[in-house]
Each structure stands twice: as C-alpha cells, then as structure tokens.
Amino acid sequence: MSTADGVGPEDHPTVPRVSDATVGRLPVYLQGLFGLAGDGEASVSSEALAEIAAVNPATLRRDLAGIGISGTRGVGYDVKYLVHEISVVLGLNQAWPVLIVGVGNLGRALANYEGLTTQGFPVRALVDIDPDVVGTSVAGVVVEHVDVLAKVVQRDEISVGVIATPASAAQAAADELIEAGLESLLNFTPVQLVTPPHVQVRGVDLATELQILSFYQQRSTAAASGTGVPLSVDADEQQRESSDRD
Amino acid sequence: MSTADGVGPEDHPTVPRVSDATVGRLPVYLQGLFGLAGDGEASVSSEALAEIAAVNPATLRRDLAGIGISGTRGVGYDVKYLVHEISVVLGLNQAWPVLIVGVGNLGRALANYEGLTTQGFPVRALVDIDPDVVGTSVAGVVVEHVDVLAKVVQRDEISVGVIATPASAAQAAADELIEAGLESLLNFTPVQLVTPPHVQVRGVDLATELQILSFYQQRSTAAASGTGVPLSVDADEQQRESSDRD
DNA sequence: TTCTGTGAAATAGTTCACAGCG
DNA sequence: CGCTGTGAACTATTTCACAGAA
C-alpha cells in the first residue's frame, strides 16, 4: 500500500493517478459515511459500505487502497478516519468559494441551497446582466453586474464558477469566467461548452438526465410487454435496410 | 447509482443492448445536432459531430452503428435523420409527464424551467407537505398535498418523479413514488436512495459535482506548484469535521 | 474467524487503421 | 476521393477468489 511510485512534481513519468471512476465514487462513499457517522458507527466493513453506496465490495476496497487508505483486517475501516482521508483526497479540507453567473430561478435556488456552504462551497458572489436584478440581495449576497466579473473573482478569491444563465449566454459566461482565471466550471445549461484543456467543466443538465431515464424506461417497458424488440424503432419507422450483423 | 439493467430475462440471446456509455452520449449528440440543424446544416461527418460532442470520431460512429443508424460513405450523416433516430431511441417521440415532490426553492426553479416542457417532459404536477405551500400555484400548476401523491400519479399519467425535497425527506418521497408505481426517479438530494431493482434512479447532486471539481482543481494546482504532495497526507492536519447533514 | 488487500481473469469501452461503398 | 463501418489491438474497470493479517 506504500505508493511505490510517489507522486512526483515531474510530469514526464505518468503518475499512477486516481482513476476517474474512483473519483466519481468518492463523494458517494463520503455521503454514506456521513450517515454511518451520524448513527454512531465507529467502523464499517467494505461489504456494508459497498451496499450503501451500491457498488461491489471489491471495487470499494480497491478504490480505498488506490488512494492510500487501509482498513484493519478482520474488522473493517474506521469511519472517522475514512471520512477524513476521503475529504483530504477530494480537497475538502479547504473551502472553495463559488460564484454564480445568472440569477434567474435556478441561480436563486442554487444560491439559497444550504448544502453548498455547509459542505465547503460558500456562495461568495452572484452576477447577472439584468439591471433590475443587479443590486438586489439574494441569500445575503448582493448581485453584481457581469461586467465586473473579473474583479469579483479576484476580490472574493473565487475557485469555482457556476453557470446558471439562459443557454444562449452560457458560452459567453464560460469565456468570461475562464478569462478571469477560473479553472473549474459547473454548467447548468444544456450547452456543450468549448474550453481550453486546463479547464475542468462538469455539466448538470436536467434534460440529459431525463432523456437517459426515458431511454431506460422505454427499454424496460418494451421488455415487459414481451416484444422481442430490442432497439428497433417503432411504427413510422423504415429506413435503409442494410443490416448485416455478425 | 445508475444501475443500468436488471431487466433482462434472457429469453432471446439475440439482444445486443446499447451500452450505458453510449446511452450517456446520445443526449450530447442530440444537443449538438440541434445546433447544426439550427445552422441549416443538412449533413455532418462523424469527425465534425465528434468534435462538437468532444468525443473520438470512431466512438461516435460505433455508437451510431450500435443503435442501427447508418450514414452515407463519402458524405456523412443526415442531420434531420440523425435527430429523429436518436430521439426515437431515447424515447423522445412521446411525452414523459413529470411530477415534482418538494416545492421549495429548487422545486420551484425546476417547475419554472422552460426547457423541460419544450423537450418533452411537461411538469404536470407538484406536491409538497407544507400546508402553506399546498394550494398555491407555481408555473401554472396548483401544488397538491403529498398525501394524494398516488392519486395524482394516476390522474396525470406521470412517468417520472423528481425528488426536490430536503434530504431528510428524500427516501420517504422515493418510497411513495415507487409505491405509486413510478419506475423512473430523478433525485436532487445528496441521499443515496434505496430502491428496488426495477426502478431507475438518477441523481443530480450539486455537492457531488463540486467535490469532483475540487479534486481535479486540487490535483492540477498541486501539479503546477510542483509540490510532491502525494496521495496520503501524513501529518494529519485537523480540519473541519463532517458534522451535520440537513 | 472475519474481513482486508490484491493477483489474475473477466468484462467493458476506446481508439486505431484500413477496406470498401457512394 | 472522402467518409463510413468495423476487425483487431489496446486501455480501463470490474469482479472473483483467496492468501494472510488481526
């Protein structure tokens, strides 16, 4: 478990980095651990936590081993220790001040979301382009004009930019956030942003999620109705034949 | 969380299912295609669309071939045809009425989100447990009491349940939605829901997304500063304790 | 005995590279 | 020609299964 190949400042050798798949699960484990900690559990087995997180126990053990966390054989993992270590790996031992661009319904809801601040992502600033909105106070923060975005980012030491504008303004907002020096963006519009490689963008799009749900629902409905139809399209469908399957 | 199947009784071995990875990209392609269609483009090469969707062209071609879509060699894919076919595969040729549980800031923002209805996910009903909220009208829909949830699901032929309650009420909301017969849930709370296998749950959690962003930002910062900071932090620096959840 | 840590096998997903159609 | 469709190689990720620590 001792990282044989330490993480070097050098970038020549490819460092054994934590896989994206693992990173994506870490917050889930953390969430489960909060629940366990709240229940007063002192330790937890990979099997139990894996069940909570809905993953395979071996996957959980490998994830933890991969970020340098070890448990105790015959016992399990120490809950508090796990919480602490995962938090450190995720960078949650520091605050990441957030700026929200676009104070419409969504922006307002996000600004008012308690979970953000309590989890280390304080909403420090809000900007909008609408003069009627600028100057108003939302969740205790005065909305500023998007023109001073760069200044705000500096002043409030913003780490993450949240894009909650209409889709039509999303790319421009992203450009300005990047111009202001931000490297982490969270995009709530359905727009596929174009950004330089050093910028991390994550997107949360309602329509995308619903479309994926509808795919699976349609599939299960089709399966249930006994139609042997896998992905065949329906009635009004007819297109070039060309179906050579192996 | 996004457990894919669990559906297939293996009657016919002849079903080459669309992979989860492909399904996840389909909405992205669709989004890009909308843009192209709006620009009046009649056809598009896998290379061009792949660039827009930020994927490898071969991946795109394989995805399309996998759902039975073919292009024209030497030319590319017909944009309108692609839009139509992908829509059909995703099940977007029908409407999927949505019910939102929890009409707080977030629920309200979601209810007011235009994109939902225009993309085939009409918000047909809203329920809440707060007597002060029940009876009010949001986005043209009267909020009903969560007690009549099952009735509402029937009446409005709801297909998807959106959970926008406080975290503490999320599991109960999920239970009721499932009890009412729904099989597709979209969860906006950080709670890891426990559901039967036939239910599809997708989660959109702000904190999770931000935590992942903070991981990558921390990593890139560490790399840039040349600190040989490894995965494990030896000298434990005590830090904020993960105390509460809402 | 229980439960971790991890080789090794299995599975999934991506990308190359090129034959061959339009 | 240009661009699709796809075998084959490659990379990533998951899962099994079991040795061995506590």
B160 vs B2: CA distance, rounded Å: 15
The C1' atom of C22 and the CA atom of B78 lie apart, in whole Å, by 14
**Percent of chain B whose predicted confidence (pLDDT) is above 90:** 81
Mutant choice from B62, B73, B138, B218 vs A, greatest count of A C-beta within 10 A: B218
Decide which of B66 and B15 is more confident: B66
- What pLDDT does B23 receive? 98
| Cβ atoms of residues B24 and A212 within 8 Å | yes
Inter-residue contact B136 to B160 (CB < 8 Å): no
Q: Is the dihedral of CA A110, A114, A118, A122 positive or negative?
A: positive
Q: Give the range among A33-47, A124-138, B41-55, B225-239 with minimum mean pLDDT.
A: B225-239
Q: Hey, are the CB atoms on B218 and A37 less than 8 Å from each other?
A: no
Q: Are A8 and B227 in contact (CB under 8 A)?
A: no
- Band (pLDDT 50/70/90 cuts) for residue B2 is very low
Q: Which H or E element spans position A124?
A: strand A123-128
Cα–Cα distance list, A15 to A8, A20, A24, A105 (Å): 7, 14, 19, 43
**A131: amino acid identity, one letter:** P
Nearest by CB to B105, from A112, A215, A231: name it. A112
**pLDDT tens-digit readout, B21-80:** 999 999 999 999 999 999 999 999 999 999 999 999 999 999 999 999 999 999 999 999
Give the β-pairing of A43-44 and A77-78: antiparallel
Measured over the CA atoms of residue B212, residue B219, residue A55 and residue B62, the dihedral's sign is positive
Which whole number is the average pLDDT over B131-157?
A: 98
* B89 reaches A (C-beta below 8 A): yes
- Tell me what the pLDDT averaged over chain B comes to: 88
Average pLDDT over chain A reads 88
- Residue A227: what pLDDT? 55
Per CB-CB distance under 8 Å, the chain A contacts of B185 are 213
pLDDT at A99 over 60: yes
Residue A160 to chain B, least CA–CA distance (Å): 8
Banded pLDDT at A226 (limits 50, 70, 90): low
pLDDT confidence bin for B12, thresholds 50/70/90: very low
pLDDT beyond 50 at A230: no
**Predicted local distance difference test score (pLDDT) of residue A228:** 45
Contacts 24+ apart (CB under 8 A), A89-93: A89/A18, A89/A26, A89/B215, A89/B231, A90/A26, A90/A27, A90/A30, A90/B211, A90/B212, A90/B214, A90/B215, A90/B218, A91/B211, A91/B214, A91/B215, A91/B217, A91/B218, A92/A119, A92/A120, A92/B211, A92/B214, A93/B237, A93/B239, A93/B240
Residue B214 has pLDDT above 60, yes or no: yes
What is this structure's pTM? 0.87
What is the rounded CA–CA span in Å between residue A63 and residue A69? 9
- By the 8 A CB rule, do B205 and B190 touch? yes
Report the DSSP beta bridge partners of residue B160: B98, B184
Indicate if the pLDDT at residue B223 is higher than 90. no
Nucleotide in closest CA–C1' contact with A57: D15
Per-residue model confidence as pLDDT tens digits over A158-211: 999 999 999 999 999 999 999 999 999 999 999 999 999 999 999 999 999 999
Any long-range contacts for A233-241 (C-beta under 8 Å, 24+ apart)? Answer: A233/B68, A233/B85, A233/B88, A233/B89, A234/B88, A234/B93, A237/B88, A239/B81, A239/B85, A240/B70
pLDDT top residue among A116 and A226: A116
Q: Using the CB atom, is residue B65 less than 7 Å from strand D?
A: yes
Determine contact: A70 vs chain B, CB below 8 A: no
> pLDDT, tens digit, for every residue of A3-31?
333 333 333 344 568 999 999 999 999 99
How far away is chain B from the Cα of A75, in angstroms, using its nearest Cα? Answer: 22
- pLDDT, mean of residues A36-47: 97
Higher pLDDT, B159 or B9: B159
Longest CA–CA span in chain B (Å) reads 63
**% of chain B with per-residue pLDDT over 70:** 85
Out of A18-22, B6-10, B11-15, B167-171, pick the least confident: B6-10
State whether residue A105 sits within 8 Å of chain B by CB.
yes
Identify from B209, B220, B227, B238 which residue to disrupt to test chain A contact, counting A C-beta atoms within 10 A and taking the largest count: B209
Q: What number of C-beta contacts closer than 8 Å exist between A and B?
A: 271
Q: How far is the CA of A194 from the C1' of C20 (A)?
A: 35
Determine the distance from the C-alpha atom of residue A244 to the mean position of all C-alpha atoms in its chain, rounded to a whole number: 40
Give yes or no for A243 touching B (CB within 8 A).
Answer: yes
Q: What is the pLDDT, as a whole number, of residue A115?
A: 86
The length of chain A is 246
Q: What is the mean pLDDT of residues B130-142?
A: 98
DSSP B169-190: HHHHHHHHHHHTT--EEEE-SS
Q: Left, alpha or beta for B6 (phi > 0: left; psi -120 to 50: alpha)?
A: left
Confirm if A53 and A60 have CB atoms less than 8 A apart: yes
Confidence at residue A243, expressed as pLDDT on a 0 to 100 scale = 36
Q: What is the C-alpha separation between B63 and B17, in angstroms, rounded?
A: 11
Whether A245 has a pLDDT exceeding 50, the answer reads: no
The closest of B185, B188, B209, B210 to B3, measured between CA atoms, is: B185
Question: Can you give the pLDDT at residue A135?
Answer: 98
What percent of chain A is modeled with pLDDT above 70?
A: 85
What one-character DSSP code corresponds to residue B146? G
Say which of A90, A217, A231 has its CB closest to residue B159: A217
User: What burial class does residue A12 get, using C-beta atoms within 10 Å of its C-beta: 0-12 exposed, 13-18 middle, 19+ buried?
Assistant: exposed
Strands A98-101 and A200-203: unpaired
8 Å CB contact of B231 and A106:
no
Where residue B17 falls among pLDDT bands split at 50, 70, 90? confident
- Give the pLDDT score at A56: 98
- pLDDT, position A144: 98
- Strand D closer than 7 A to residue B72 Cβ: yes
Q: What is the mean pLDDT of residues A133-140?
A: 97
